């Protein structure tokens, strides 16, 4: 009886990410973990194929404006959960709370593993995959923002290797809930490979946000999927290779400012230089409209607009009602969707925000030359943009 039950009872894999990491790096960490969950789901081993991946809600990200009281935004606000579930068995945190046994509304997780880098990795140059339990963690343990979650056992795990290697840990324990803390330490198994792209293709944005972006494209940019040749099938598994997308008649830019201006002083172009680069491309394309996605201040945006006053400068300004529901993350996704439908795109070098736009353009089937372009610095130094072509 006991053995039989084991086949049916769910196991839960939770994860958390280093608090300062931003939205789009977190999505990359999700992809690493969802590939792990996908492979365990497909495994014939009953110790592995019962795992559900619990999605950590979006909360207090450093780049986002937030209130003093923590907010827990479910993934369903931003992403199409049904689409994610076709790749990996994911559930929302609130579903975990409903399903998982709890006493007096307190949840006890069986085992927590806090991942940390091997201290000797750079000194010895040993970059082989390995993991080793340590007696002491390099930093204090903390996870999530929940006060009603505690854990039975805590481990520190020095780790180097892909997230998929974590399944080895789960074979040696009967724990029904396991939290991987600092999941960003784990890596991709094959970055840019077929399974990576399946995880990425399944990560579709929520219908509500796609609709908000579609309305903006139609009203302000003369862009719609039929004319732009960017219609995708309802299910990502039915997508076919091909570069047929034309895109809407506008140039889109992603201009990362704020912390980039402080930490990447030499690489960040001045607004004057941005305006010159935009103008050159608009002339070449024979377009008069540029869509600007940016985290720049209102003042900077106004300066840029006045430098580009010969052209139509468009940007998405969320309403109060939109912001109160979707917060900064929703506005970021609408910007990303609009950028991914433009005839031509220029992004910010080494911004994960830009990477997610480039990936979506690959999925939509744009010519790669219209996608992998980054702003050059003031001195005319143009970064080598990595081209990550889609693989089916
Ligand atoms: O997604 P993100 O981490 O990408 O960017 P990077 C940080 C946040 O900035 C996003 C806002 O969550 C958005 O809230 N943001 C940036 C934008 N660009 C835009 C935009 O065009 N439109 C809107 N609406 N919002 C990493 C950081 O940022 O850069 C790391 O996550 C670190 O913490 C590193 O600072 C240097 O990869 O650009």
Average pLDDT, consecutive stretches of 10 residues, N- to C-terminus, the chain (392 residues): 60 94 96 98 96 93 74 94 98 95 88 92 84 83 77 94 97 95 96 97 98 98 98 98 98 97 94 98 98 98 98 97 93 98 98 98 98 94 93 97
- At 1 the pLDDT is 43
- At 63 the pLDDT is 83
Ligand 1 atom 25: residue of nearest CA: 332
Q: Measured from the CA of 332, which atom of ligand 1 is nearest? A: 24
Q: Is 279 exposed, middle or buried (0-12, 13-18, 19+ CB in 10 A)?
A: middle
Q: How much distance in Å is there from the Cα of 22 to the middle of ligand 1?
A: 6
DSSP one-letter code for 160:
E
- At 144 the pLDDT is 72
- Residue 145 · residue 67 · CB < 8 Å: no
The one catalytic residue in 6, 21, 189, 368 is 21
Report the alpha-carbon distance of residue 216 to residue 11 in Å, rounded.
Answer: 42
DSSP one-letter code for 165:
G
Write down the pTM of the prediction. Answer: 0.96
Total length of the chain: 392
Give the position of tokens 């990425």. Answer: 200
Pocket of ligand 1 (CB under 6 A): 20-25, 63-64, 254, 256, 259, 263, 293-295, 328, 331-332, 335, 351-353
Ligand 1 atom 38: residue of nearest CA: 351
- Per DSSP, the three-state class of 79 is strand
Q: How much distance in Å is there from the Cα of 123 to the middle of ligand 1?
A: 32
Helices 352-364 and 320-340, axial angle in degrees (round to 10): 60
Q: How much distance in Å is there from the Cα of 136 to the middle of ligand 1?
A: 33
- At 15 the pLDDT is 97
- At 192 the pLDDT is 95
21 is catalytic: yes
- At 7 the pLDDT is 54
Distance of CA 88 to the CA centre of its chain: 16
- Per DSSP, the three-state class of 163 is helix
- At 5 the pLDDT is 53
Q: How much distance in Å is there from the Cα of 268 to the middle of ligand 1?
A: 14
Q: Measured from the CA of 264, which atom of ligand 1 is nearest? A: 36
Ligand 1 atom 20: residue of nearest CA: 294
Q: Measured from the CA of 316, which atom of ligand 1 is nearest? A: 24
């Amino acid at each position: 009886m006991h053995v039989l039950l084991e086949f049916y009872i769910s196991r839960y894999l939770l994860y958390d990410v280093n608090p300062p990491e931003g939205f789009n790096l977190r999505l990359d960490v999700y992809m690493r973990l969802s590939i792990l969950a996908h492979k365990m789901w497909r495994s014939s081993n009953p110790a592995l194929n019962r795992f559900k991946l619990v999605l950590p809600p979006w909360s207090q990200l450093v780049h986002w404006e937030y209130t003093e009281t923590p907010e827990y935004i479910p993934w369903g606000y931003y992403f199409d959960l049904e689409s994610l579930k076709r790749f990996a068995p994911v559930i929302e945190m609130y579903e975990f709370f409903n399903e998982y046994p709890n006493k007096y509304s307190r949840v006890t997780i069986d085992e927590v593993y806090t991942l940390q880098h091997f201290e000797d990795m750079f000194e010895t140059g040993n970059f082989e995959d390995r993991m080793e339990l340590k007696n002491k963690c390099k930093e204090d343990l903390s996870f999530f923002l929940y006060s009603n979650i505690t854990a039975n056992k805590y481990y520190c795990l020095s780790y180097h290797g892909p997230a998929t290697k974590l399944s080895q840990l789960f074979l040696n324990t009967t724990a029904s809930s396991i939290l991987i803390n600092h999941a960003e330490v784990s890596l991709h198994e094959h970055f840019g490979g077929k399974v990576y792209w399946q995880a990425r293709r399944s990560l579709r944005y929520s219908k509500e946000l796609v609709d908000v972006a579609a309305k903006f494209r139609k009203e302000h940019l003369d862009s719609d999927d039929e004319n732009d040749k960017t219609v995708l099938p309802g299910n990502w598994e039915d997508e076919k290779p091909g570069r047929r997308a034309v895109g809407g008649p506008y140039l889109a830019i992603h201009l990362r400012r704020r912390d980039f201006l402080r930490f990447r002083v030499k690489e960040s172009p001045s607004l004057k230089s941005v305006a010159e680069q935009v103008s050159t491309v608009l002339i070449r394309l024979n377009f008069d409209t540029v869509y600007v996605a940016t985290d720049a201040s209102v003042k900077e945006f106004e300066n840029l607009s006045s430098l580009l006053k010969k052209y139509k400068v468009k940007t998405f300004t969320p309403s109060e009602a939109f912001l109160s529901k979707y917060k900064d993350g929703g506005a970021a996704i609408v910007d990303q969707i609009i950028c991914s439908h433009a005839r031509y795109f220029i992004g910010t070098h080494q911004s994960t925000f830009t990477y997610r736009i480039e990936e979506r353009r690959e999925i939509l089937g744009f010519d790669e030359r219209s996608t992998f372009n980054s702003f050059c610095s003031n001195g005319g130094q143009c970064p080598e943009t990595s081209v990550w072509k889609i693989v089916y």
